[in-house]
Structure 1
Amino acid sequence: MTGMMQTSTHLRARAEIDLAALRANVRALRARVGDGTALMGVVKSDAYGHGMLPVARAALAAGATWLGTATPHEALALRAAGIRSRVLCWLWTPGDPWREAIEADLDMSVSGMWALRELTAAAREAARPARIQLKADTGLGRNGCQPADWPELVGAALAAQAAGEVRITGLWSHFACADEPGHPSVTAQLDAFHEMVAYAEKEGVQPEVRHIANSPATLTVPESYFDLVRTGIAMYGISPGPEVGTAQDFGLRPVMTLSASVALVKRVPRGHGVSYGHQYLTPRETTLGLVPLGYADGIPRHASGRGPVLVGGVRRRVAGRVAMDQFVVDLGGDTPEPGTTAVLFGPGDRGEPTAEDWAEAADTIAYEIVTRIGSRVPRVYLNEDE
């Protein structure tokens, strides 16, 4: 996938992916929901920047029985790599590869009549039924079928099933505010989901799985588990948000550690401008360290002047603007050797910052921090075997 897979120890930058931590996270999440609920490992967007294929295999080895992707192209890449587990893909646009998905035995989400029409036409071409899951918009206001349109969609899907064109395998929805424990929309969405599932089942739908729980709901809303939970960010050892609690609170460990080799250390006088725009002027004679990562690698420019970095066992901050390929830290007179490791984020138990720290510095969420790390940063996989 997008991240290069290398094992060299001499890399200018690297994102270490600890697959043992990922497997432990999957087991912890499975233990949390119990044996009666299946777990879907969400591996969309190159497994949140961690590398889709290695992560998918590790998640399945640890007990996930489903995988989830946004696009059909991601799901088809799993099949092309020989992964045969159940895979649900949910973000479809007109003209997408419905027939290829049917022939690859994917489960496809349907939110509206246009999708059902394209899908059933593809099923007739393929001469085999499509596996579909009907998505209900219970209040997120994004993808999914509105309650007022639900009877039409359910009726049409049942007619297509009677004609042998589809098999309805699931009913599902997605929370809007589960990362805000106690938010009234959570209960409202659960109530709406119960009602929409009950209607579909009364009409004759017999789903294999009903599911609404994402990572924050898996961690904090046990009444949302139903038959399946979809764990994305939690599987990668990152909390869905500060209000939910820390990853450590739930026995989860961050999987990605991002680091780079310091490219240059030099002494500069007081009042020296640093990086574009000279937004940072050295307050005293000091030393500067150059880190060869920039916004082209996914380092957020919004964290200019604020992003935390561990160099030589000391926490520093980005000095001045993050540039396309590099940024600078003020070393305060310290003189680490070029090649010294600068750790941008990791689990945090060795003094290094975390993805949450970078999210706070960039006024964003930790999901974005790990997902945006670009293909120029090699992924180095640790503990690939059990």
Structure 2
Amino acid sequence: MNAPLRRARIDLDAYRSNLDLVREWMDPVEVMAIMKADAYGHGLEPIALAAVDAGVRWIGVLTVPAALRLRAIGVGEDVRLFTWQHDPALDFRDAIDSAVDLGVSNAAELQRVVDAVDQRPARVHLGVDTGLHRDGATAETWPDLVALAVDAQRAGRIEVVAAYTHLAESSDDDDSAAVALFDAAVEQAEDLGLDIPMEHVAASLAGLERKEFRKDMVRMGANLFGMPGADGVSAADLGLEPVMTLTASVAKTKRVPVDTGVSYDYTYRTTSETTLALVPVGYADGVPRRAQGRVEVSIGGRRYPIAGRVAMDQFLVDVGDDDVRVGDLVVLFGTGEHGEMTVLEFGAAVDSIGEEVTCRIGARVPREYVGHEVEGRVGSWLRGDHHHRDHHRGDHQARGTHA
């Protein structure tokens, strides 16, 4: 078997299955599918098209340029695209003209939006800072933001779509206090003459664990990629399916004697005559240096720990006397069905979380999309000439799937 040098396999059927399950859990509340950071490293366009085909009508993408990428590939205005982190120099005109929803956190930012309005009113979500301190207006600045929003809406310059916040998820008490602050801010806005048609406060973890926080819409990200955020809870525990499987191939093998120093600094030495297998994935591809001795990769259904320092482009595993050959498949993480690490296990092994692991998988790792046999939107996009991804279409055709 000759496996690709390195590859991230993205199972769109698993994504859709997770989406269906989460929407069932949240029913009747709306679900916004969060796809920031290039859909958590899975590839924005294919994930978004799969979600739209599944009936999703709210997508969160962090920035206006990401939203415009989706409009450019045919995601229509029936799908609401929510953005909330804006370049201070951004001209909002393209976003407004493309019906991109804009999260705003202060009066100065809202004024920039109002000044950019031309043909149609801007769709605006007003952010409330309830303790995370990343985004949103504070209790002191909220009245000024609301007052400007009232004037701009009366003038037909904006449409206030929603108020929102993000919870710190530090503790149940902290989150309850944060939601109480949010509720008070909404009440204050209404007292100042602003109608708030929609509220959204909960993301993946709070959306699952605190039903009373779901409000009108829940923003779901990690759960949709099979990476639940609750401590000690696996994807399988919830019925979710991991979407990304990271694999490589054995590039070289060599037999070495006992007490051979391995990789930089000789932080690992062999304890007997053994075979070393070279795996062509390194920290440039998202495997951190601290993975040495912590992460176990799977070759032929058996786990082997990373031996020695992880280098920029490669690492070694000590396979002993096992019959491991050049071209053999190496699974760094996957579904766990065949004994390999899951992305949550991989993250825990390096003192991190699954989301950080998938977001760090570098651009030189080709994404291969499998599953999702639809009437052409995902498949036709992947068949196009899109330079920012390297797609292996031949394998999809051999499998009989739409990539």
TM-score band, normalised by the shorter chain?
over 0.9
* Aligned with 2:336 (options 341, 348, 351): 348
By how many angstroms is 1:241 displaced? Answer: 3.7
Alignment pair present for 1:290 and 2:284: no
Alignment partner of 2:254: what SS?
strand
Aligned partner of 2:103 in structure 1 is: 109
- Which letter does structure 1 place at the counterpart of 2:180? D
- Which letter does structure 2 place at the counterpart of 1:122? A
Aligned partner of 2:137 in structure 1 is: 145
CA distance in 1, matches of 2:52, 2:120: 27
* Aligned with 1:194 (options 158, 171, 183): 183
Alignment pair present for 1:155 and 2:147: yes
* Aligned with 2:43 (options 48, 51, 72): 51
- Which letter does structure 1 place at the counterpart of 2:98? A
By how many angstroms is 1:249 displaced? Answer: 2.3
Alignment of 1:105-184 (within 5 A): 105-123=99-117, 126-177=118-169, 182-184=171-173
Aligned partner of 2:13 in structure 1 is: 20
CA distance in 2, matches of 1:161, 1:28: 37
On the 8 A contact 1:169/1:206 being kept in 2, the answer is: no
By how many angstroms is 1:10 displaced? Answer: 5.5
Alignment partner of 1:331: what SS?
strand
Alignment partner of 1:169: what SS?
strand
By how many angstroms is 1:69 displaced? Answer: 1.0
Alignment pair present for 1:235 and 2:237: no
By how many angstroms is 1:216 displaced? Answer: 0.4
- Which letter does structure 1 place at the counterpart of 2:190? E
CA distance in 1, matches of 2:227, 2:299: 23
* Aligned with 1:255 (options 243, 249, 269): 243
By how many angstroms is 1:202 displaced? Answer: 3.0
- What is the RMSD of the two structures over their aligned residues, measured on CA atoms? 1.4
How many correspondences in the alignment? 371
* Aligned with 1:379 (options 345, 353, 367): 367
* Aligned with 2:315 (options 316, 320, 327): 327
Aligned partner of 1:5 in structure 2 is: none
On the 8 A contact 2:186/2:196 being kept in 1, the answer is: no
CA distance in 1, matches of 2:195, 2:309: 56
CA distance in 2, matches of 1:373, 1:287: 28
By how many angstroms is 1:209 displaced? Answer: 2.2
CA distance in 2, matches of 1:364, 1:102: 37
By how many angstroms is 1:231 displaced? Answer: 0.5
Alignment pair present for 1:30 and 2:19: no
Alignment pair present for 1:87 and 2:81: yes
Question: How far does the alpha carbon of each residue in 1:270-306 deviate from its partner, in whole angstroms, 9 at most, with x for none?
Answer: 1111111111111111111111111111111221222
The alignment's TM-score, normalised by the length of structure 1, stands at 0.93
- Which letter does structure 2 place at the counterpart of 1:155? A
On the 8 A contact 1:26/1:63 being kept in 2, the answer is: no
On the 8 A contact 2:234/2:344 being kept in 1, the answer is: no
- Which letter does structure 2 place at the counterpart of 1:230? R
- Which letter does structure 1 place at the counterpart of 2:183? H
Aligned partner of 1:3 in structure 2 is: none
Aligned partner of 2:61 in structure 1 is: 69
Alignment partner of 1:168: what SS?
strand
On the 8 A contact 2:332/2:340 being kept in 1, the answer is: yes
CA distance in 2, matches of 1:332, 1:62: 47
Aligned partner of 2:267 in structure 1 is: 279
Q: Which moved more, 1:294-303 or 1:202-211?
A: 202-211
Percent of aligned positions that are identical: 43
Alignment partner of 2:159: what SS?
strand
Alignment pair present for 1:100 and 2:94: yes
Alignment partner of 2:141: what SS?
helix
The alignment's TM-score, normalised by the length of structure 2, stands at 0.89
Alignment partner of 2:317: what SS?
strand
CA distance in 2, matches of 1:381, 1:173: 34
Structure 1: runs of 5 or more not aligned: 1-8
